[in-house]
Amino acid sequence: MIDQSSGNATTDAPAAPLADVVSELLMGMRLVGIDYRRIELSPPFGVRFGTEEGRAQFHFIARGPVFLRRPDGIVHAMATGDAVLLPRGGLHDLISEPELPCRDVGAFAVQPLCASVGAISSCAKDQCASGRTLIFSGCMEFDLGGMSPLVALMPEQMFVGTLLARYPEILPMLEAMERETRGDRAGFAGILARLADVVSAFIVRAWVECGCGDASGWVAALRDPRLGRVIAAVHRDPGRDWSVAELAAEMGASRSVFAERFLGVTGMTPLRYLTDLRMRLAMQWIGRERLPIDEAAHRLGYGSQAAFARAFKRVTGQAPGAVRARP
């Protein structure tokens, strides 16, 4: 089945509290490129992506058409100038025809272009350049820090084509990507990598501003003006020794009303939410940013490294040192 619509964005304006709160929280969003590829192929072809578990994938079609096929068999048509972000990655294929078999992208020979950017070329010698498919692809660490629950609520794939009518300012970025991918100018690989990061971040922000699609639960808390204030306050100062009474005061409600409302919307108690937020931040700071464990504990309001380590292991199932020891 071929789906030409390729998107879930709505045109209805979101409630102001959601936009305001999420905009503030998204300031910590990081898209860190791990591996980019400029891919030039002669049809027919099939390339499989998604073996990098837990990483986002971005594809820009500089010369198409291309089909994106998911494991459930649904196929999305993509034309020249289209881009897609798969925030949770996962297995998927880029193919020139809907029913073609695939070869893993890691099986292709790669020619280094610059740091983190390589070129794949598998073209028929007698085929002119205009008949070849051209793709720029990026594998990324997608880090929202304390906003990590938002990633799980995003669609499997987020197509830029659904955003152009509402956000025409993204078009010049796509046009620049097309020029850089097709050309061979000095520094083009590094410029493409940065453009891919910006376009991906723009897709995420636009999804949020469009109301987060059909997402519910945790996003519903952000849509609630009073609960949204509480969550924003906790994210601004996760190391504060928050009490339920103080959080209720942020909402402007009694402790019992606040606790019941928070549990009903988010599915967890306020203090459990605070602890989970702290541990997500700790995972990022210790594992990725290499922050000393004692400093992370201090930032998150723990009086001792031992107390922090106990909380960390209870929530994540591992000791802080195990996260820090990862390469």
Greater pLDDT, 143 or 107: 107
Please state the rounded mean pLDDT for residues 58-66: 93
Residue 222 near residue 197, CB atoms below 8 Å: no
Residue 57 near residue 88, CB atoms below 8 Å: no
**pLDDT at residue number 213:** 63
**pLDDT at residue number 151:** 77
Q: What percent of the chain has pLDDT over 70?
A: 82
Confidence at 241, pLDDT banded by 50, 70, 90: very high
Query: Which of 149-163, 204-218, 235-249 is modeled with the greatest confidence?
Result: 235-249
CA 310 – CA 214 distance, rounded (Å): 37
Which contiguous run of DSSP H or E holds residue 159? strand 158-159
DSSP 112-157: EEETTEEEEEE--TTS-GGGSEEEEEEEEEEE-GGGTHHHHHS-S-
Q: With a cut of 60, say whether residue 120 has pLDDT above it.
A: yes
**pLDDT at residue number 176:** 92
Average pLDDT across the chain, whole number: 83
Distances from the Cα of 56 to the Cα of 72, 151, 266, angstroms: 19, 10, 25
What's the token pair of residue 96?
Answer: 């020139």
Please state the rounded mean pLDDT for residues 3-26: 47
**pLDDT at residue number 75:** 95
- Convert the pLDDT of each residue in 306-325 to its tens digit: 999 999 999 999 999 888 75
* CATH node for 224-324: 1.10.10.60
- Convert the pLDDT of each residue in 151-192 to its tens digit: 777 888 999 988 888 888 889 999 999 988 888 787 888 889
- Within the chain, all domains assigned CATH 2.60.120.10 are found at 10-209
Greater pLDDT, 156 or 33: 156
CA 20 – CA 58 distance, rounded (Å): 27
pTM: 0.73
> DSSP label at 169?
G
CA 282 – CA 275 distance, rounded (Å): 10
**pLDDT at residue number 45:** 94
**pLDDT at residue number 233:** 87
Residue 31 near residue 203, CB atoms below 8 Å: no
* Domain 10-209 CATH (choose: 2.60.120.10, 1.20.1440.120, 3.40.50.1370, 3.40.50.10490): 2.60.120.10
Q: For residue 291, with 0-12 CB atoms within 10 Å meaning exposed, 13-18 middle and 19 or more buried, which class applies?
A: middle
Q: With a cut of 50, say whether residue 11 has pLDDT above it.
A: no
CA 323 – CA 77 distance, rounded (Å): 40
Please state the rounded mean pLDDT for residues 24-41: 78
Confidence at 7, pLDDT banded by 50, 70, 90: very low
Please state the rounded mean pLDDT for residues 275-287: 88
Residues 73-80: contacts with CB under 8 Å, at least 24 apart? 73/1, 74/1, 74/3, 75/1, 75/2, 75/3, 76/2, 76/3, 76/4, 76/6, 76/157, 76/159, 77/2, 77/3, 77/4, 77/6, 78/6, 78/159, 80/178
**pLDDT at residue number 217:** 59
Q: Which residue shows structure tokens 């996260």?
A: 323
Please state the rounded mean pLDDT for residues 229-239: 87
Angle at 61 between CA 57 and CA 63, to 5 degrees: 155
Lowest mean pLDDT among 4-13, 49-58, 228-237: 4-13
Q: What is the separation of C-alpha 143 from the centre of its chain, rounded to a whole number of angstroms?
A: 7
Confidence at 33, pLDDT banded by 50, 70, 90: confident
CA 225 – CA 71 distance, rounded (Å): 39
**pLDDT at residue number 284:** 81
Q: How many CA atoms lie within 13 A of 305 on its CB side?
A: 8
Q: What is the separation of C-alpha 280 from the centre of its chain, rounded to a whole number of angstroms?
A: 15
**pLDDT at residue number 22:** 61
- Within the chain, all domains assigned CATH 1.10.10.60 are found at 224-324
CA 269 – CA 110 distance, rounded (Å): 49
CA 257 – CA 314 distance, rounded (Å): 28
Residue 297 near residue 305, CB atoms below 8 Å: yes
